[in-house]
A and B are shown apart, each in its own frame.
Chain A
Amino acid sequence: MSSALAENKNSAESAFFSLHKTFLEKVKPHAELLPLNRSALGRFETLRFPDRKHEMFTFVNTKDLVTSSFSLQTENPVQSEFVRQHVYAGCEQSHLTLVDGILRPDLSDATALGTSVKIESLVEAAKSESVRNSLKISIEQENDVFASINSSFMKQGIGLRVFRNKQVGVPLQILHVSTGSGNGSVMTVPRVFVHLEPLAELKLITKYVGVKGNYFINAVQDFTVEDDAALTYTQVQADPDDAWHFSKNRILLKRNSRFFGCQASNGTRLVRHHSEARLSAPGGELELNGVSVLVEDEQAHNFIRIHHEADHCTSSQHFKNIINDRGRASFDGTVIVDKGAQLTNSGQLIDNLMLSDDGRADCKPNLMIFADDVKCAHGATVGQLDVNQLFYLKTRGLSELVAKKLLTRSFAESIIQKIPFPQVVKELNNTLLKKLEADHG
């Protein structure tokens, strides 16, 4: 049995090597990016696909994913109407649409951003030495095999730069459309590089949607937030159920900079978010919040590493999962506080609401503290709806179903309300929570 598994893994790996060969021959990488592609492929060779015991994939079974035979996505047409319905109100003139990872100017409009933001292709962006270096280092030090796959196929993708002391008033939306496939599985590797110069401020919404399913979106985003800059970020995952969604967000915070992030996940057959944040200089503030609503066989997993490298930084995480039917969620998060990171304040809380007996929630909140003057807290809850509260509502004449819906909504509400974009909140109230109203038995 175990040798059969190993064989599967090996053949899955060779399938990816031959896919990469196709990439080199048919898709033709950019000459400037090619050394990075090769370096990433080297990382892939070292890291290899995880087995069940891999510490980064304790709760995530990737067997079905890696043994699927993938081809590279060839571009499919997208109706502009489809794009329009996924562009948030207020972002009509500040949205960028990436179809299968490739920027589509015809489906984008950035006029409202004015001259505060520079938008360029990844190749252009990588001409800057700092961007190229940061790509190079992150590829060499990559610990997530799926992110190294992204980098080994990296060709398209975009770079955003907000100039010094520019505060962008309107929210900017990046819409990722996966066109999917009617036949065999396809893989896409979107890549976005966001750079905020000192004192810059940006509000960014990323949304992932698909036209058809059966795709593996394997996205990587890099965020560099320089001194005193602030990024407000919301990520909405709304792919079809038969998609695989892997995304890695790499966040680098410099002196007194802020990153305020929220993510909402709809779940698919397998969603995995990997967030890796470094608080590299004093005064950084990081907040990561997330909510996922999972029904039927949907899964959503969070893997988080927050590294406090400097003093006087704060980080907080609050994640909530609502799990019905056979849904599965996991949270594997570690906060590392270096010896010199005195006066760190860090909090980590995961709440799971189980609505069925067959669902599953795994939590592993970890703290690794090497400094002695810090305040670190962590907590985890797994629970059902409160019988007393249900009873109370029923005594007020509410039906069991209505009372349950009300309490479930209020559970998710505290995270959803943290999203600073009313249009996204409204959408989530309509879509995410609506899922629960259908009775899945």
Chain B
Amino acid sequence: MENKDDPISGVLDNEYKYGFVTDIESDTFAKGLNENVVRAISRKKNEPEFMLNFRLKAYKKWLTMKQPAWPNVQYPAIDFQNISYFSAPKPKKKLESLGEVDPEVLRTFEKLGIPLDEQKRLANVAVDAVFDSVSVATTHKKKLMEVGIIFCPISEAVQDYPELVEEYLGTVVPVGDNFYAALNSAVFTDGSFVYIPPDTISPMELSTYFRINTEETGQFERTLIICAENSYVSYLEGCTAPQFDTNQLHAAVVELVTQDNAEIKYSTVQNWYAGDPETGKGGIYNFVTKRGKCQGEKSKISWTQVETGSAITWKYPSCILQGDGSVGEFYSVALTNGHMQADTGTKMLHIGKDTRSSIISKGISADHSSNSYRGLVRVGKGASNARNYTQCDSMLVGDKCSAHTFPYIETGNNTLQVEHEASTSKISEEQLFYFEQRGISRENAITAIINGFCKDVFKQLPMEFAVEAQKLLTLKLENSVG
């Protein structure tokens, strides 16, 4: 690659470790999207009528919408008729135990560091493993059920708890919210569902692990988390995909709802395949709509994301701060290298009184990549004494990458208190020389600088994920030092 001689940018290069394909038989629809496909998905999942109506409404909306052009990313127009909208590992009937899961799929998750079987599974994390849009296994279900927590694939929730799904689905992200959300609402096949009953602190971290396997399959998962009054849950999401030359579309929707005094902490470590680092060929288009509604008073939603993969990332985990005194937080590390493009940030919509939000965004760009932060803080008329703190820092590695920040503030009253801080810095040869002169290796120096830059975000992650996130970044730095 042309800047191989640039020692710093070289450090960020690494080969994608999760780029293998699992050879399993899958049940995949023919390519293309029309009303019949939507109906077929619903039928395949044996859905009640309200779900079919939900999908059809979304599909009709979608037909009237256009792909958004405003993000600071470039990609050829996507042919939505060239994507398959359903792919599931066989057997596709409802799984009763892990024994029925294709052993290849289990091995895949094990390779990814997510053992699902009884002996090896993580003791303090309940995992819902999603393989090409279909949930293949959910661990610790029983233990969670003992305290009344529902944690299951959303397709199962549609069958077992239809009234909960009907009450909340689409209330945070309406079917016609945006192009990709509408598409997702029409065709989503699976995802995770969580319900935390009142006065319950979840005894463990809940986690979904997404894996895209099939080429030319769109992945459209749907996640819905409801946290009733005085409850708390911490939810983790991880993502990987194999290496293909073609681009794959990932258009997920995540909806969170908190009632009075409830708190959801939602953390993501995203490491989808980013495409060939030299040519930019292939990779995932990660067009995700994530939004939480602080419906109750003094409730709190906290998004933490570590974005290290995808050819294009386009996502803005947002908070609707409706309840008085509610709190929204957004902590983000976005690393782009190779030819990756990221346009990410958040929206904080202050509606209730005394609502607070804070945004900490750290962007690292290397090689030829482009990294944009886009954030909106909107304060409604009734949101008296709203407060926002925004900090966005960019770090450049090499001189062929770019970093942009687009902060927007819209205020409807004058009792708002806003703070905004921004900085741009660079990992410089002089910094590395300074470390080396003190006897510290180049590799350790880069890790220390990057971890130092990101620590405000890492400290928000649950332990397990913080370690994983640090490893991921280090992995991106590995192989090339020395």
Task: Please say whether the chains A and B touch (CB closer than 8 A).
Answer: yes
A383 touches B425 (CB 8 A): no
Which of A372, A382, A386 is the one whose CB lies under 8 Å from B396? A372
Q: Which residue of A lies closest to B393 (CB)?
A: A377
Which of A343, A357, A374 is the one whose CB lies under 8 Å from B414? A357
**B36 interface residue, CB < 8 Å from A?**
no
**B163 interface residue, CB < 8 Å from A?**
no
B419 touches A379 (CB 8 A): yes
B425 touches A375 (CB 8 A): yes
**Chain B residues numbered 407-455 whose CB sits less than 8 Å from any CB in chain A:** 414-426, 428, 430
**B166 interface residue, CB < 8 Å from A?**
no
Q: For the complex, what is the distance from the CA of A339 to the CA of B456, rounded to whole Å?
A: 31
A382 touches B415 (CB 8 A): no
Report chain B residues within 8 Å CB of A343: 428, 430
**A387 interface residue, CB < 8 Å from B?**
yes
Q: For the complex, what is the distance from the CA of A240 to the CA of B425, rounded to whole Å?
A: 45
Which of B414, B416, B421, B428 is the one whose CB lies under 8 Å from A379? B421
Q: Which residue of A lies closest to B387 (CB)?
A: A383
Q: For the complex, what is the distance from the CA of A343 to the CA of B385, rounded to whole Å?
A: 40
Report chain B residues within 8 Å CB of A349: 421
Q: How distant is A346 from chain B, measured CB to nearest CB, in Å?
A: 10
Which of A376, A382, A387 is the one whose CB lies under 8 Å from B423? A376
Main secondary structure of the interface of A (DSSP, over half): strand
Q: For the complex, what is the distance from the CA of A381 to the CA of B387, rounded to whole Å?
A: 11
Report chain A residues within 8 Å CB of B396: 372
A372 touches B354 (CB 8 A): no
**B399 interface residue, CB < 8 Å from A?**
yes
Q: How distant is B196 from chain A, measured CB to nearest CB, in Å?
A: 27
**A203 interface residue, CB < 8 Å from B?**
no
**Given the contacts A357-B414, A384-B415, A384-B417, A379 and B426 also touching, CB distance less than 8 Å:** no
A381 touches B418 (CB 8 A): yes
B414 touches A377 (CB 8 A): no
**A380 interface residue, CB < 8 Å from B?**
yes
**A378 interface residue, CB < 8 Å from B?**
yes
B417 touches A382 (CB 8 A): yes
**Given the contacts A343-B428, A387-B385, A377 and B419 also touching, CB distance less than 8 Å:** no
Q: For the complex, what is the distance from the CA of A372 to the CA of B427, rounded to whole Å?
A: 11
Q: For the complex, what is the distance from the CA of A217 to the CA of B108, rounded to whole Å?
A: 78
Q: How distant is B400 from chain A, measured CB to nearest CB, in Å?
A: 11
Chain B contact residues (Cβ within 8 angstroms of A): what range? 20 to 34
Chain A contact residues (Cβ within 8 angstroms of B): what range? 10 to 19
Report chain B residues within 8 Å CB of A376: 423-424
Interface bits A105-122 vs B (CB < 8 Å: 1, else 0): 000000000000000000
**A75 interface residue, CB < 8 Å from B?**
no
Q: Which residue of A lies closest to B395 (CB)?
A: A375
Q: For the complex, what is the distance from the CA of A373 to the CA of B395, rounded to whole Å?
A: 10
Q: How distant is A320 from chain B, measured CB to nearest CB, in Å?
A: 13
Q: How distant is B309 from chain A, measured CB to nearest CB, in Å?
A: 27
Q: Which residue of A lies closest to B389 (CB)?
A: A381
Report chain A residues within 8 Å CB of B428: 343, 373
Interface bits A334-365 vs B (CB < 8 Å: 1, else 0): 00000000010000010000000100000000
A387 touches B354 (CB 8 A): yes
Q: For the complex, what is the distance from the CA of A375 to the CA of B419, rounded to whole Å?
A: 19
Report chain A residues within 8 Å CB of B419: 379-381, 383
Report chain A residues within 8 Å CB of B385: 384, 387
Report chain B residues within 8 Å CB of A381: 417-420
B426 touches A373 (CB 8 A): yes
Which of A374, A378, A383 is the one whose CB lies under 8 Å from B417? A383
A379 touches B422 (CB 8 A): yes
Q: For the complex, what is the distance from the CA of A317 to the CA of B284, rounded to whole Å?
A: 44
Q: For the complex, what is the distance from the CA of A441 to the CA of B276, rounded to whole Å?
A: 66
Q: For the complex, what is the distance from the CA of A376 to the CA of B426, rounded to whole Å?
A: 10
Which of B354, B399, B416, B420 is the one whose CB lies under 8 Å from A380? B420
Q: For the complex, what is the distance from the CA of A378 to the CA of B415, rounded to whole Å?
A: 23
B418 touches A377 (CB 8 A): no
A375 touches B423 (CB 8 A): yes
Report chain B residues within 8 Å CB of A374: 424-426
Report chain A residues within 8 Å CB of B426: 372-375
Q: How distant is B296 from chain A, measured CB to nearest CB, in Å?
A: 19
**Chain B residues numbered 203-236 whose CB sits less than 8 Å from any CB in chain A:** none
Q: For the complex, what is the distance from the CA of A376 to the CA of B396, rounded to whole Å?
A: 13
Q: For the complex, what is the distance from the CA of A378 to the CA of B422, rounded to whole Å?
A: 6
Report chain B residues within 8 Å CB of A387: 354, 385
Report chain B residues within 8 Å CB of A379: 419-422
Interface-central residue, B385, B418, B423, by most chain A CB under 10 Å: B423
Q: How distant is A342 from chain B, measured CB to nearest CB, in Å?
A: 8
Report chain A residues within 8 Å CB of B418: 381-383
Report chain B residues within 8 Å CB of A375: 423-426
Q: For the complex, what is the distance from the CA of A357 to the CA of B387, rounded to whole Å?
A: 17
Interface-central residue, A378, A380, A387, by most chain B CB under 10 Å: A387
Q: For the complex, what is the distance from the CA of A373 to the CA of B421, rounded to whole Å?
A: 19
Q: Which residue of B lies closest to A346 (CB)?
A: B423
Report chain B residues within 8 Å CB of A373: 426, 428, 430
Q: How distant is B444 from chain A, measured CB to nearest CB, in Å?
A: 21
Q: For the complex, what is the distance from the CA of A270 to the CA of B247, rounded to whole Å?
A: 62
Q: How distant is A432 from chain B, measured CB to nearest CB, in Å?
A: 23
Q: Which residue of A lies closest to B421 (CB)?
A: A379
Q: For the complex, what is the distance from the CA of A357 to the CA of B414, rounded to whole Å?
A: 8
A372 touches B417 (CB 8 A): no
**Chain B residues numbered 222-255 whose CB sits less than 8 Å from any CB in chain A:** none
A377 touches B415 (CB 8 A): no
Q: For the complex, what is the distance from the CA of A380 to the CA of B430, rounded to whole Å?
A: 30
A372 touches B423 (CB 8 A): no
Q: How distant is B476 from chain A, measured CB to nearest CB, in Å?
A: 22
Q: For the complex, what is the distance from the CA of A375 to the CA of B387, rounded to whole Å?
A: 27
Interface bits A211-229 vs B (CB < 8 Å: 1, else 0): 0000000000000000000
Q: How distant is A310 from chain B, measured CB to nearest CB, in Å?
A: 15
Q: For the complex, what is the distance from the CA of A435 to the CA of B425, rounded to whole Å?
A: 41
Report chain B residues within 8 Å CB of A377: 421-423
Q: For the complex, what is the distance from the CA of A383 to the CA of B428, rounded to whole Å?
A: 37
Interface-central residue, B414, B421, B430, by most chain A CB under 10 Å: B421
Q: How distant is B413 from chain A, measured CB to nearest CB, in Å?
A: 11
Q: How distant is B381 from chain A, measured CB to nearest CB, in Å?
A: 15
Report chain B residues within 8 Å CB of A380: 419-420
Report chain B residues within 8 Å CB of A382: 416-418
Interface bits B387-406 vs A (CB < 8 Å: 1, else 0): 10000000010010000000
Report chain B residues within 8 Å CB of A378: 421-422
Q: Which residue of A lies closest to B415 (CB)?
A: A384
Q: For the complex, what is the distance from the CA of A357 to the CA of B384, rounded to whole Å?
A: 13
Q: For the complex, what is the distance from the CA of A266 to the CA of B273, rounded to whole Å?
A: 60
Q: How distant is B187 from chain A, measured CB to nearest CB, in Å?
A: 44
Report chain B residues within 8 Å CB of A386: 417
Q: For the complex, what is the distance from the CA of A386 to the CA of B387, rounded to whole Å?
A: 9
Q: For the complex, what is the distance from the CA of A387 to the CA of B354, rounded to whole Å?
A: 9
Q: For the complex, what is the distance from the CA of A374 to the CA of B430, rounded to whole Å?
A: 12
Interface-central residue, B354, B387, B396, B417, by most chain A CB under 10 Å: B417
Which of B387, B399, B414, B415 is the one whose CB lies under 8 Å from A372? B399
Q: How distant is B446 from chain A, measured CB to nearest CB, in Å?
A: 16
A–B pairs, 12, beta carbons within 8 Å? A372-B426, A374-B424, A374-B425, A375-B423, A379-B422, A380-B420, A381-B418, A381-B419, A382-B418, A383-B387, A384-B417, A387-B354
New contact pairs (5) apart from A372-B399, A373-B430, CB-CB < 8 Å: A372-B396, A373-B428, A377-B423, A381-B419, A382-B416
Q: Interface of B with A (CB < 8 Å)?
A: 354, 385, 387, 396, 399, 414-426, 428, 430
Closest 8 CB pairs of A and B: A383-B417, A377-B423, A379-B421, A381-B419, A375-B425, A373-B426, A373-B428, A387-B385
